[in-house]
Amino acid sequence: MCASDLREKPKLLPRILAWALVVFWAALIFVLSSIPGSEYPPHHESLNVVAHFCLYLVLGVLLTVAVSQSRLPLWQVAIVAFILGSLYGASDEVHQLFVDGRNADPMDWIIDTIATAVGVVGALFYISARKVTDSRERDAALTAGAAMQETSSTTDVPELEPLPVPNVEIKQEASEVEVEISAEADDERS
C-alpha cells in the first residue's frame, strides 16, 4: 500500500451536500439583493452592515467546508474560498445596480470581503482542530491495536524446548572425509 492510498478519498455525498449548501446560501443572498429598495422598511445603516457581515460570514464558512472536500492543502482551501466569497460579494453589488432603488456600494463589498475572511479563518480553525483530533484518535487506535496484537502474540504461543544438538566431529584425511557423530550431548542431558 503506497502513501497515496492511505489518504482518504473524499466521499461524494458530503461534497454534493457542501456545495448544495453554498448554492442555497448564494441564492438566498441573491434573492435578498433583488428586493427593490422601496420595499425595505427604513432602517439604520448599522443594520445593513450587520446583515452583510452575517450573510457573508456564513458564506465564507460554507465555501471553506465545500472547498476542503477536495484534496487541496488547507492554505489553498483558504485562498480559493476567500476569492470565491469576495468575487460573489462584488457580483452582488453589480447585481444591485439593476435593482430599483438599490445601488452598488463599495463599502458593502469591503464588508462582504472581511466577513468572508472571518468565516474562512473560523472554518479553517475548526477543520484543523478536527484533523488533529482525528489523527490523534487514529494513532491511539493503532497503538492500542499494536499493543493488543503484541500481547496476544506472546501469550498464545507455547514455549518450545530446544532440540538436542549432537556433537559432530569432522576428520579429513587425504581423500576421505569421516564424520563421527557422538551421542555425548544426549548422554549429558539424561
Q: Which residue has the higher pLDDT, 90 or 181?
A: 90
Indicate whether 107 belongs to any domain.
yes
Q: Is residue 139 part of a domain?
A: yes
Q: What pLDDT, on a 0 to 100 scale, did the predictor assign at position 92? A: 95
Q: Is residue 188 part of a domain?
A: no
Q: Give the up-direction half-sphere exposure of residue 110: CA atoms within 13 A in the CB hemisphere.
A: 3
Residue 174 has pLDDT above 90, yes or no: no
Full-model pTM: 0.67
The Cα–Cα gap between 61 and 57 comes to 6
Is pLDDT at 109 greater than 50 in this prediction? yes
Q: How confident is the model at residue 175 (pLDDT cuts 50, 70, 90)?
A: low
Q: List the domain range (segments joined by +) for residue 57.
A: 11-153
Confidence (pLDDT) at 145? 67
Tens-place pLDDT, residues 89-106: 999 999 999 999 888 999
pLDDT, mean over the chain: 82
Amino acid identity of residue 131, one-letter, is K
Count of domains for the chain: 1
80 lies in some domain: yes
Q: Is residue 5 part of a domain?
A: no
What tens digit of pLDDT does each residue of 133-162 get? 888 888 777 777 666 666 555 555 667 777
> Is 102 within the bounds of a domain?
yes
pLDDT exceeds 80 at position 188: no
Q: Which residue has the cell 504461543?
A: 157
Query: Does residue 1 sit within a domain?
Result: no
Q: Is residue 184 part of a domain?
A: no
CA distance 61 to 72: 16
CB atoms within 10 A of CB 54: 12
Please state which of the ranges 16-25, 57-66, 98-107, 141-150 shows the lowest mean pLDDT: 141-150
Indicate the range of 17-21, 24-28, 119-123, 160-164 predicted with least confidence: 160-164
DSSP state, 68? T
Contact 30, 92 (CB under 8 A): yes
Residue 85 φ then ψ, to 5°: -65, -40
